[in-house]
Every structure is written in structure tokens, then in C-alpha cells.
Amino acid sequence: MSKSKKNEKNPEQKKASLIAVFDPNSPGSGDQIYGLPFDLDTAKIVLLPAPWEVTVSYQSGTAKGPDAMLDASFQVDLYDVEYPELWKAGIWMAPVPEKWKKNSKRYRKQARDYMEWLLEGKPGNDQDYYEKVLQQIHQGCQEFNAWVRAQVAEYRTSGKLVILLGGDHSTPLGYYQALNDEQQPFGILHLDAHADLRPAYEDFEFSHASIMYNALKLPALTKLVQVGIRDYCDQEARLISDSDKKIVLFSDQELKNKLFNGETWAKLCAAIIKELPDRVFISIDIDHFDPALCPNTGTPVPGGNSFEMTTYLLSQLALSGKQVIGADLVEVAPGDDEWDANVGARLLYKLIGCLAKSNGLLTS
């Protein structure tokens, strides 16, 4: 063996060396999330940017979410009372893929034109043209989903834990498909203002409003527990009631009524966690929060949780003995003041903590 090979550090040794010289008290800087020193080899937790928002139906901007959260992350102190040495777990954010940014803009323009045609009542002389447009959008979404699926599979095969950063809420479908390919049952803890159970929305099969409907098609998904939902249609309500408890809804109104009548949030969190299977994926649409925390998200809705209510639920899940197998954080649109990105970057750190704690990556 050559001297250079003999002196070459393995990833764990390299990680230990990086930790030894890194100052977690210094101002965040560099080009990595939270100013951390890790790369793909030395990280255990990978953040996968998914800058895609082709089918958003109200406000746009979510495709800028990964970039905005990266920028905002440098303002987040690495010390967390709950997870004081979380940064040492090894966190790395993959580069934001320019290809999918460009494709999202292109297909988004087509989708806007298609939605305008719908609002005009589908004039018959344009029928053939817009049918082709819809097919092109559908194909573009399938290609994006296939890319996410392949990326997640590659990272997980190499032993990484993955958090997807949207983009709109259609973006994690490829992640769910990759988990389904592993043929191990799992459930989704879905924190959102919307049920996202429409078979299609504005004719788009891969709409952000259809993500959980599409997820339920996957055989490995055995349970969907929805929390904080407060904006859904009759069709979605019937799907929930007819699901034989495969879908369990803790609506915002139900939770608030119980809180107002004296039940504690701790007791309600225990009831939510009890409904989850042993292997849990966390899906968080930032509009789950009170809109004061996410005014620029695609479809804000009055009501919702405070930041502390949501992070408490994540903490209790991490301590529950159930395994958190992955997560997504979507619909973060920075706006002009980047407030949503600030909230998103701080929520992301807590979400990373939940994932790390659940998988035994923290020493304290």
C-alpha cells in the first residue's frame, strides 16, 4: 500500500477531523447549509432540493424555497436546547438543480395558460392544443418524479437519511415511490392546512393538491395521519370517512375545540402519535402554521399551529420509539422579506433533530 493511501482518512475519520476544527459559535458562512463543514461523504443527513412548482394554483414562489432556506440558514444558531450537538450528526445540502428550476418555469407557464383556458370554459376551437399541453405537463411531472425517486434511492442505498426541500407539495411523490420500492410498510404524518386528497386538481394528476391521493396508491403506505387540516372539499371528506381508518384526520377545528375545552397539547400529541405505525415519514407543508409564520406560501389559510406546537409534536415523535425514516418540508416561498424562509430554516433544523434523534445519531 502506498503512503498516500495509508494516510487517507475514511469518512468517519474525516468527519471527526472536521468536527474537531469547526467553531459552532462563529457566524454562519460558506456555501453549505447552516454554515456547516460537511460534504456528502461525511454527512449522515442529506437535504435534497426540489425546486418545482408547476401546478401551484394561487401564489407562486415555492420553487425558490430551497435557495431561500439555504440563505436564511446562516442566521440560525447551531445550539439547540433540545438537540445541543445536532450539527455533529453531519448535515449536507445537495446543490439546487438548475435543470429542474428551468423546467419548472417552462412547464409552469404552460400550466398557467391551461388554467386560463379552463377559466374561459374550455373553448372548443383550442381543445386539441390544450390536450397536448396537458400531456406535456403530465410527462414533465413524471420525469421530475422519476429524478427524485432515483436520487432518494441512491442516497438511501448509501446509508443516508434524506429530507426533501420543496418546491410545492407535489415534489415528494418520487420520495414516496422510492420508499415503496423498498417494500417495507410505512405511514405518513402529514402536517398541512389542506388534505391534498383530490384525484386531480385543475386536470393536473400530479397537482400539489393531489399528493396524498397519489401517495395512497402505493402498497407500502399503510397509514396517513393528517394534522391541522382546515381547508378541504366534500370529496376529500368522503374519502377520509370511507378509508376504514387508513386515513386518520385530526382537523384544526377538532384540535382547537379540545384545547379550548381543557385538553392539553401533550395529550393530543400522544393521541396523534398512537395512530402512527412503527415506521413514519414526516411531510410538512409550511401552511400548516398560522399564516403569520408563512404569509408568502402558496395557499395560506387562517388558523393553524404555532411554531412551538409543531416542534413539540416532532419532539414527542422522536422520543416515542417509532422510527422516523425521512421527511419533506415544502411550500416555503420567501416573498420580499424572506420571513417564510427564516421560519422554514428554523423548522428544518428541528425536523433534522427529530430525524437524528429517532435514528440514534445524537449522543446527547
Q: What is the pLDDT of residues 112-170, one digit of tens each?
A: 888 888 788 888 778 888 889 889 989 999 999 999 999 999 999 999 999 999 999 99
Indicate whether 357 pLDDT > 80.
yes
pLDDT confidence tier of residue 58, bands split at 50, 70 and 90 = low
Rounded to an integer, the average pLDDT of 254-277 is 98
pLDDT, position 298: 85
364 band by pLDDT with thresholds 50, 70 and 90 = low
Say what the pLDDT of residue 2 is: 45
* Mean per-residue pLDDT of the chain: 93
* pLDDT value, residue 84: 95
Supply φ then ψ for residue 342, to 5 degrees. Answer: -60, -50
Range 37-358: architecture per CATH: 3-Layer(aba) Sandwich (3.40)
Mean pLDDT of 315-322: 97
125 Cβ neighbours under 8 A, 6+ residues apart: none
Residue spans of the domains in the chain: they are 37-358
Sheet holding 221-229, edge to edge: 91-93, 45-50, 161-166, 323-330, 279-285, 186-191, 221-229, 247-251
pLDDT band of 7, cuts 50, 70, 90: low
pLDDT of 35 > 50? The answer is yes
Instruction: Report the percent of the chain where pLDDT is more than 70.
Output: 97
Nearest alpha carbon to residue 41 among 215, 158, 122, 135: 158
Q: What is the pLDDT of residue 247?
A: 98
Q: Which of 3-12, 55-64, 235-244 has the lowest mean pLDDT?
A: 3-12
At residue 127, the pLDDT reads: 85
Flag whether pLDDT at 1 surpasses 50: no
Question: What is the pLDDT at residue 310?
Answer: 98
Please, what sign has the CA dihedral across residues 248, 252, 256, 259?
positive
Given a cut of 80, whether residue 201 has pLDDT beyond it is no
Task: Round to whole Å and give the CA distance between 280 and 273.
Answer: 10
User: In whole angstroms, what is the distance from residue 129 CA to residue 350 CA?
Assistant: 47
Q: Are 76 and 346 in contact (CB under 8 A)?
A: yes
pLDDT recorded at residue 335: 85
What is the model's pLDDT at position 123? 83
Phi-psi region of 332 (alpha: psi -120 to 50; beta: other; left: phi over 0): beta
Sign of CA dihedral 290, 293, 295, 297: negative
pLDDT digits (tens, 9 = 90+) for 19-33: 999 999 988 777 899
